[in-house]
Amino acid sequence: QFAVAGPPSGHPPGHPPLEVFTTRPDTLFGVTFMVLAPEHPLVAAITTPSQKKPVTDYVRRTLAKSEVDRKAALDKTGVFTGAHALHPLTGAQLPIWISDYVLMDYGSGAIMAVPGHDDRDFTFATQFSLPIVRVVEGGDLPFTNDGKLVASEFLNGLGKSEAISRMIQELERRGLGARHVQYKLRDWLFSRQRYWGEPFPMVHMSDGSLKAVPLDELPVTLPPVADYEPSEKGEPPLARAVDWVNYKNMGWRETDTMPGSAGSSWYFLRYTDSHNESEPFAFSAQKYWLPVDLYVGGPEHTVGHLLYARFWQKVLFDAGLVSHDEPFQKLIHQGMVLGSDGEKMSKSRGNTVDPDEVREQQGADALRLYLCFMGPTDKDKPWATKNIEGVRRFLERFWRLVVDDSGKVMATDGTVPGELQKLLHRTIKKVTEDIECMSFNTAVSAMMILVNEMYRLNARPREVLKTLAQLLAPLGPHLAEEVWELLGGSGFVSLATWPTYDPALIAEDTVTVAVQVNGKTRGTISLAPQAGEPAALEAALALHPVRQALGEKSPQKVIYKAGKIINLISS
């Protein structure tokens, strides 16, 4: 809470304090001014007589703007009210401004401006020559990352999380603030004035009441109309279906339709029982198939769809119509493929890539594999044509392991060399686990390593090549099927049993153990993974730097962590 300083001339005393919601109470010592939304109820009360006209004019101009326009505006505008607030901890006077970048539906419609550590506040302060104070260590201002607190009295030296907790405790102790959870919730407008959408099963009765249609009349389906435009009176398109609108001479049907989020909020439930004509889905069907194991979609999709689907699911769960409270077990946000310039692809920038052209030039498998190889699934990745050529060369190298230039199969039968057998099983494990967690880039990398090793050993075992075709199949299916057939695989590789690895073959033959004397590293030794302390001590004492460090002394104590480190303690 920020008390309003003194009553402005001509106004009665006793203004209520400004209440501010902030996610960064740790930066309270960096506040240099306050900003209210122009619609804030205190604006008129605290504005001084000399500022009345500019404030009134600004409020009027702001109310003529849409929220979208206000959020999109690059230039910050505002007007000083003439009033000041008192800093709750230091008592400093803070000028109170109004600006359209502050919205009434966020928090309390008032912000404490910390221009040193907020981009919008910094722009506003720079534009109107307001003070800027650093309270977080770091780079150039505005510094918006985490850091140690400075110039903040009892918070100095603390990190963000601890500082937030300490500040809340102090404000609560003084009765100046309290911890509060703020939800960004808005009313959900659940109707549209268009044809395509689920009709509301509601009837406006002649007596003015609103009633639902009987259950045996569900579902209410869309009537045919000749024109999908609104009626001449501006009514929704369904108003054109006069016979449909007139409900048994008892009233008229609702002509608005539900939004797209209605059907898209439960389509996955219908998928479990799509031919059921007596109900949306059988309870047993959704219980068998759901919840969804994995949902891949971007952040915009989450806000525009999954938010509603989750709400819908919880309503159905509370009603006992579904067996799961949550519709989706795991959500992954896939990254965006950017242009070669690192910017979002757009025709205006001229950085778009035609996938059909790439497919024609490089092949479908190379395109698919490159999209997997570009980087982590959840990160944005710039397109690089030279890199897709590298992926294509990997596929060509794999192909040349299988057949020669004449098309003759070069695979050999017999025992697989021990070194290659171990790498094969490590590759099976790596690719299996990476695909499971959608780390496709590292799965491709593991297969590349296996191919390179086969060239180094000049080895073409049929068993290894067939297994590699199976591992490649989810990402490069065309080449994988071709190789599988050439090597005598049964049926389609995509239907073959996924390969498994032998744990005994992926175990390391040796491990590297660090050797220390009195806590200082003197070298490393190679040991069998199961080697005990006596073997480790013997190998460590054989190192010349260790003998030098010990001199003629024997270690008084040995600390050994199997497979990691051995520390020899001497006096």
The sign of the torsion formed by the CA atoms of 421, 422, 423, 425 equals positive
- 123-169 pLDDT per residue, tens: 999 999 999 999 999 999 999 999 999 999 999 999 999 999 999 99
33 and 160 in one domain? Answer: yes
What's the distance, CA 522 to chain centroid?
45
Q: Is the pLDDT of residue 424 over 50?
A: yes
CATH at 166? 3.90.740.10
The whole-angstrom separation of Cα 423 and Cα 442 is 15
Q: Is the pLDDT of residue 12 over 70?
A: no
350 within some domain: no
Q: Is the pLDDT of residue 8 over 50?
A: no
Q: Is the pLDDT of residue 412 over 70?
A: yes
- 510-522 pLDDT per residue, tens: 889 999 999 999 9
- 456-501 pLDDT per residue, tens: 999 999 999 999 999 999 999 999 999 999 999 999 999 999 999 9
Q: Is the pLDDT of residue 9 over 50?
A: no
Of 239, 310, 303, 313, the residue nearest 281 (C-alpha)? 313
The domain boundary, picked from 258, 273, 300, lies at 258
CATH at 484? 1.10.730.10
**Counting Cβ atoms within 10 Å, is residue 553 exposed (0-12), middle (13-18) or buried (19+)?**
exposed
499 and 523 in one domain? Answer: no
- 77-116 pLDDT per residue, tens: 999 999 999 999 999 999 999 999 999 877 789 999 999 9
CATH at 521? 3.10.20.590
Token pair recorded at residue 292: 């969804």
Q: Are 283 and 321 in contact (CB under 8 A)?
A: yes
343 within some domain: no
270 within some domain: yes
The domain boundary, picked from 124, 159, 174, lies at 174
Q: Are 337 and 405 in contact (CB under 8 A)?
A: no
**DSSP letter for each residue of 49-98:** GGGHHHHHHHHHHHHTS-HHHHHH--S---EEEEEEEE-TTT--EEEEEE
- 327-370 pLDDT per residue, tens: 999 999 888 899 998 888 888 888 899 999 999 999 999 999 99
494 and 423 in one domain? Answer: yes
Q: What is the mean pLDDT of the chain?
A: 92
341 within some domain: no
* Total number of domains in the chain: 5
278 and 241 in one domain? Answer: no
Task: Provide mean pLDDT across the span 427-441.
Answer: 95
179 within some domain: no
CB burial readout 354-367, b (16+ within 10 A) else e: eeeebeeebbebbb
Q: Is the pLDDT of residue 44 over 90?
A: yes
The whole-angstrom separation of Cα 75 and Cα 354 is 36
Q: Strand 381-382 to strand 337-338: parallel, antiparallel, or no bridges (unpaired)?
A: parallel
| pTM for this entry | 0.58
**Counting Cβ atoms within 10 Å, is residue 493 exposed (0-12), middle (13-18) or buried (19+)?**
buried
28 and 57 in one domain? Answer: yes
Q: Which carries the bigger pLDDT value, residue 273 or residue 190?
A: 273
371 and 253 in one domain? Answer: no
**Which of 155-164, 254-263, 504-513 has the lowest average pLDDT?**
504-513
pLDDT band at 292 (very low <50, low <70, confident <90, very high): very high
In this prediction, residue 508 carries a pLDDT of: 77
The domain boundary, picked from 504, 532, 555, lies at 504
138 within some domain: yes
- CA 363-367-368 angle, 5° bins: 120
**Counting Cβ atoms within 10 Å, is residue 121 exposed (0-12), middle (13-18) or buried (19+)?**
buried
184 within some domain: no
* Phi, psi (deg, nearest 5) at residue 117: -140, 25
Q: Is the pLDDT of residue 301 over 50?
A: yes
Task: Provide mean pLDDT across the span 395-403.
Answer: 97
Rounded percentage of the chain residues whose pLDDT exceeds 90? 77
In this prediction, residue 124 carries a pLDDT of: 96
416 and 367 in one domain? Answer: yes
The whole-angstrom separation of Cα 464 and Cα 447 is 11
397 and 303 in one domain? Answer: no
Q: Is 2 helix (H, G, I), strand (E, B) or coil?
A: strand
Q: Is the pLDDT of residue 13 over 70?
A: no
392 and 293 in one domain? Answer: no
pLDDT band at 15 (very low <50, low <70, confident <90, very high): confident
400 and 277 in one domain? Answer: no
95 within some domain: yes
266 and 158 in one domain? Answer: no
52 and 108 in one domain? Answer: yes
Parent domain of 376: 355-504
In this prediction, residue 11 carries a pLDDT of: 44
In this prediction, residue 10 carries a pLDDT of: 41
Q: Is the pLDDT of residue 300 over 80?
A: no
Q: Is the pLDDT of residue 7 over 60?
A: no
**Which of 172-186, 261-275, 405-419, 472-486 has the lowest average pLDDT?**
172-186
